[in-house]
Amino acid sequence: MTARRLDGALVARQIREELRGRLAGLVARGIRPGLGALLVGDDPASAVYVRNKTRTCEELGLVHETRRLPVTATTDEVIQAVRDFNRRGEIHGILVQLPLPPQVDARRVLDAVQEEKDIDGFHPANVGRLVQKRPRFVPCTPAGIMELLARSGIEIAGRRAVVLGRSDIVGKPMALLLTHADATVTVCHSRTRELAAVTREADLLVAAVGRPGMLRAEHVKPGAVVVDVGINRISDKGAARDLLDPERLAEFERRGHALVGDVHAPSVAAVAGALTPVPGGVGPLTIAMLVSNTLRAAANAG
């Protein structure tokens, strides 16, 4: 058996076309949505994400601005940059790119984002609304995953779901969304005992732990749907030989690096019923949902 490929890039293109129409409708009403992004330091993955966000905004014609602060920035300096975006009426959505440097208090920074502009859904008020199933903004990666599952015809209600990872960004909101969709949900983490025994119960398995190739065939129930949220850059040849198929291994040899997920794709693809690729799976959907949330924020403000 070879797992069905869940093509996030294709679904993201469909969503972007829908967003184009929503944006045109807002502009016709005199509302020009604006996105402000804050990037602190020079984390390579963050730079890629912001670059892809910029490309998508330009493709759609969305007003956007990225402010960059040095890696030495203090918590107060980052909060001041957030407040500058808060005050500007032409900025409807604010993205604080994570991770922040270790000296910056990420919680204080995220709490400083005006909740009506918190398009990542990280402000405590927006987290509370999500818990109560009346969200203002749904965190972008989990929202994108739900879109992917729905548009791929994958049933959620009544199924056993396991979320591997308990971060505020992906794991916790993902578990909430699946619960709201009537799945029976288990959240696993670094302290979970007999992990493989738990994950093998899942009809739907979401991996979001940030460890390359951690989830292997022995963790997966035959026929399960597996969503790989991980984006990990590898440059070690031994890891590449283990984690990459021959085509991607040849690409690795040319470039000297590659992106891989938290799922050991070569082994899991032989067991799972469906699997998201890395790259081209969840990543493009995250950016599409970021734009969607920005349009929602602009409509709410207008």
Rounded Cα–Cα distance for residues 85 and 92 (Å):
9
Query: What φ, ψ does residue 230 adopt, rounded to 5°?
Result: -65, 140
Pairing of strands 258-260, 232-234: antiparallel
> Is 133 an active-site residue?
no
Pairing of strands 184-188, 204-207: unpaired
**Per-residue H/E/C for 57-100:** HHHHCCEEEEEEECCCCCHHHHHHHHHHHHHCCCCCEEEECCCC
Rounded Cα–Cα distance for residues 100 and 86 (Å):
19
Question: Is the preceding peptide bond at 284 cis, omega within 30 degrees of 0?
Answer: no
Residue 109's H or E segment, with its range, is helix 106-112
> Is 80 an active-site residue?
no
Short-list 231, 289, 282, 280, CA closest to 35 = 289
Among residues 117, 118, 120, 172, the one annotated as catalytic is 120
> Is 120 an active-site residue?
yes
Q: Count Cβ atoms below 10 Å from residue 156 Cβ, excluding itself.
A: 20
Short-list 123, 36, 40, 126, CA closest to 85 = 36
Q: Do residues 169 and 122 lie in contact, with contact meaning Cβ atoms separated by under 8 Å? A: yes
Among residues 53, 117, 172, 221, the one annotated as catalytic is 53
Among residues 14, 43, 76, 97, the one annotated as catalytic is 97
Report the catalytic residues. Answer: 53, 97, 120
